[in-house]
Amino acid sequence: MFVEKDGDPSALLGRNLTIGLLDHVGKAIVTGVYDNKPFPTEAQLADQYRVSRSVTREAVKMLTAKGLLTARPRQGTVIQATLHWNLLDKDVLRWLLERKFSLQLLRQFTELRVSIEPKGAELAANNATYNDLQRMKAAFDRMVLADGGEGDPTEADINFHVSILYASGNPFYYQFQEMIRTALMTSISFTTRVNGVTPNIVAHENIMKAIFDRDPRRAYDAMHLIVNDVLMVIYEQEAQNKLKA
């Protein structure tokens, strides 16, 4: 399942064995390595990775806290259904990126985005401080540079969207940043592959201008247009896939 280094599986885990084991096993769970097979006992994991039972126990506790595992009477530790995973946890989101591409997952990400980001932009138009606006402008300027070949367009786009969540003035919206990052990384790759679409600089500038103008309705509509366009591409692709099935 995993490649050993110098014959010692624990060498794969890095200096912090607990965090390393958490990452390896968590990724294995999320990417389906244990699908249709029983999850190993703590003793089996300890033997497989050649780590102590205390290290294994702590990693399993952390995976349980993330909603991936649960202990059941007479069944031992079992993998939870995806519905119970903490899908806003940054580790879980990172492991989801390792899975085989799922159009359904991308649709679910985008359906959440379309309900969060437009409202976040509306709130930013009302609540953004001077520093928030400067952060947003700097993120937009990086998008422009990246569009011209200077920098990573995906990372620049993500930073712009996150800057708006931050400018909303609502800490609960900012807590969605890891989910938005993961969703954008997936959706930008998808839309570029499907129809060659890259981040629309003018459309993003329209969002920023509406926020700078303190126009909540315009900010909402401008953000909704961007995210909903992605959702429409996904719906169209799903319809095509059904016709081919």
Is 182 a domain residue? yes
The whole domain housing 26 covers 9-84
Q: Do residues 117 and 167 both lie within one domain?
A: yes
Q: Which of 18-22, 57-61, 99-103, 135-139 has the lowest mean pLDDT?
A: 99-103
Mean pLDDT of the region 214-221: 98
Q: Which of 132-141, 185-194, 235-244 has the lowest mean pLDDT?
A: 185-194
Q: Do residues 39 and 107 both lie within one domain?
A: no
Query: Is residue 215 predicted with pLDDT exceeding 90?
Result: yes
Query: Is residue 55 predicted with pLDDT exceeding 50?
Result: yes
Is 92 a domain residue? no
Q: Do residues 112 and 214 both lie within one domain?
A: yes
Based on the structure, what is the number of domains in the chain?
A: 2
Q: Do residues 130 and 192 both lie within one domain?
A: yes
Is 228 a domain residue? yes
Q: pLDDT, tens digit, for every residue of 135-171?
A: 999 999 999 999 899 999 999 999 999 999 999 999 9
Q: Do residues 113 and 219 both lie within one domain?
A: yes
Mean pLDDT of the region 33-44: 93
Q: Do residues 236 and 145 both lie within one domain?
A: yes
Q: Do residues 129 and 154 both lie within one domain?
A: yes
pTM: 0.83
pLDDT score of 7: 58
User: For the chain, what is the mean pLDDT?
Assistant: 90
pLDDT score of 51: 93
Other C-beta atoms closer than 10 Å to the C-beta of 170 total: 15
Mean pLDDT of the region 42-56: 93
Is 93 a domain residue? no
Query: Is residue 210 predicted with pLDDT exceeding 80?
Result: yes
Calculated CA dihedral for residues 20, 158, 108, 190, nearest 10 degrees: -100
Most confident of 56-60, 101-105, 182-186: 56-60
Quick check: helix, strand or coil at residue 68? Answer: coil
Residues 6+ positions from 168 with CB-CB distance below 8 Å: 120, 121, 123, 124, 127, 128, 174
Q: Do residues 144 and 52 both lie within one domain?
A: no
Is 90 a domain residue? no
Query: Is residue 1 predicted with pLDDT exceeding 60?
Result: no
- Residue that is last in its domain, among 28, 53, 84: 84
Q: Do residues 133 and 226 both lie within one domain?
A: yes
Residue 44 belongs to domain with CATH number: 1.10.10.10
- Residue that is last in its domain, among 56, 84, 112: 84
Residue 177 belongs to domain with CATH number: 1.20.120.530
Residue ranges of the alpha helices (H) in the chain? 17-30, 42-49, 53-65, 90-96, 103-127, 130-147, 153-167, 171-174, 177-195, 201-212, 216-244
Is 212 a domain residue? yes
- Residue that is last in its domain, among 84, 115, 134: 84
Query: Is residue 209 predicted with pLDDT exceeding 50?
Result: yes
Q: Do residues 221 and 179 both lie within one domain?
A: yes
Mean pLDDT of the region 70-78: 86
User: How far is 117 from 161, CA to CA, in rounded Å?
Assistant: 8
Mean pLDDT of the region 28-38: 93
Q: Do residues 141 and 61 both lie within one domain?
A: no
Q: Do residues 202 and 238 both lie within one domain?
A: yes
Is 136 a domain residue? yes
pLDDT score of 194: 72
pLDDT score of 196: 64
User: How far is 157 from 143, CA to CA, in rounded Å?
Assistant: 6
